[in-house]
């Protein structure tokens, strides 16, 4: 049976929404699902995220029900699922992912820590998902072969090259529509978009990577240093 679910695993502030826009703009992507486990995650861990109660009220919060929803997609085309690795807390039941095309999106932890703490300063390393992402990557790769990994900075340096290689790796045709899209929010965005997606609302494509250096606060540097080994482990498999 042909796999028609593309599951993209990332952490927060990884350009995951831009990647979602890119895939949503493909002609053969019929449906996009934005962070389906977010409500279940907030309810279980009682994280005081912006719009917390609105998120919980807007979506399914039973973890197993979300699993069932994610694995039962049936459309004439591809379904793109944007997953946040930190939302996953039942690693013993990841068999629901085994019939998906699983891909991973990573970003240098200096950039992620600085961006995330700017949006929500009450964070710890587990909130950024690196440890969980590596565990998910290892579990799926050990069963189905090594999953493709995209690094956000490399993607920004040459979007067409990286996206073409990603499409080739996962066995889907290249579609130049992935390089640009209309600005603004979409019906497919989660209710949290108005807080977390302001920069994406104004973009119409992947903005060239101009980051030279970044000055981290003491808290951000501590978090980044703790997360870097997980990032380095996944960089070994990155598409370049």
Mean pLDDT of 157-162: 96
Quickly count: other Cβ atoms within 10 Å of residue 46's Cβ. 8
Number of structural domains (the chain) is 1
The model carries a pTM of 0.94
Check residues 223 and 195 and name the one with the higher pLDDT.
Answer: 223
Check residues 9 and 195 and name the one with the higher pLDDT.
Answer: 9
CATH number of the domain enclosing 65:
3.40.50.300
Mean pLDDT of 230-235: 98
Check residues 232 and 185 and name the one with the higher pLDDT.
Answer: 232
DSSP the chain: ----EEEEEE-TTSSHHHHHHHHHTSTTEEEEEE-TTHHHHHHHH----TTHHHHHHHS---HHHHHHHHH----SSEEEEEEEGGG---GGGGGGGTTSEEEEEE--HHHHHHHHHHH-SS--GGGG-HHHHHHHHHHHHHHH-PPPEEEHHHHHH-HHHHHHHHHHHHT----GGGGB---S--TTS-TTHHHH-HHHHH-SBPPP------PPPHHHHHHHHHHHHHHHHHHTTB--
Mean pLDDT of 197-226: 83
As a whole number of angstroms, the distance between CA 151 and CA 239 comes to 7
Does the residue 154 lie in any domain? yes
For residue 64, give Cα distances in angstroms to 14, 74, 94, 102, 123. Answer: 26, 19, 11, 19, 26
Q: What is the pLDDT of residues 53-89, one digit of tens each?
A: 999 999 999 999 999 999 886 678 999 999 999 999 9
CB-based burial, 121-147: b 16+ in 10 Å, e otherwise: eebebebbbbbbbbebbebbeeeeeeb
- By C-alpha distance, which of 172, 104, 100 is closest to 143? 100
User: What is the structure's pLDDT at 85?
Assistant: 97
Mean pLDDT of 5-24: 95
Most confident among 107-116, 157-166, 206-215 (mean pLDDT): 157-166
User: What is the structure's pLDDT at 1?
Assistant: 52
Does the residue 240 lie in any domain? no
Quickly count: other Cβ atoms within 10 Å of residue 149's Cβ. 22
| Domain encompassing residue 77 | 5-235
Phi, then psi, of 116 in degrees rounded to 5: -70, -45
Check residues 122 and 84 and name the one with the higher pLDDT.
Answer: 84
Q: Is 238 left (phi over 0), alpha (psi -120 to 50) or beta?
A: beta
**CB distance 42 to 54 below 8 Å:** no
- By C-alpha distance, which of 152, 147, 176 is closest to 3? 147
């Amino acid at each position: 049976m042909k796999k028609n679910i593309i599951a993209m695993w990332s952490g927060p502030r990884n350009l995951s929404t831009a990647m979602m826009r890119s895939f949503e703009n493909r002609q053969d992507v019929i449906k996009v699902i934005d962070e389906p486990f977010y409500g279940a995650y907030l309810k279980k861990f009682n994280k005081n995220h912006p719009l917390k109660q609105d998120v919980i009220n807007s979506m399914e919060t039973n973890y197993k029900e979300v699993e069932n929803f994610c694995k039962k997609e049936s459309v004439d085309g591809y379904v793109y699922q944007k997953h946040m690795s930190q939302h996953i807390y039942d690693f013993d039941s990841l068999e629901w992912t085994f019939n998906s095309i699983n891909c991973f999106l990573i970003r240098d932890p200096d950039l992620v820590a600085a961006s995330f703490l700017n949006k929500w300063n009450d964070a710890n390393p587990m909130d950024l998902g690196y440890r969980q992402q590596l565990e998910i990557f290892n579990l799926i790769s050990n069963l189905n072969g090594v999953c493709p990994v995209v690094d956000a900075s490399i993607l920004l340096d040459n979007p067409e090259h990286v996206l073409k290689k990603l499409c080739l790796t996962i066995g889907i045709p290249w579609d130049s529509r992935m390089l640009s899209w209309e600005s603004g929010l979409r019906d497919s965005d989660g209710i949290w978009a108005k807080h977390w997606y302001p920069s994406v609302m104004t973009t119409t494509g992947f903005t060239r990577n101009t980051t030279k250096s970044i000055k981290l606060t003491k808290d951000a540097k501590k978090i980044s240093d703790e997360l870097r080994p997980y990032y380095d482990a996944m960089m070994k498999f990155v598409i370049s």
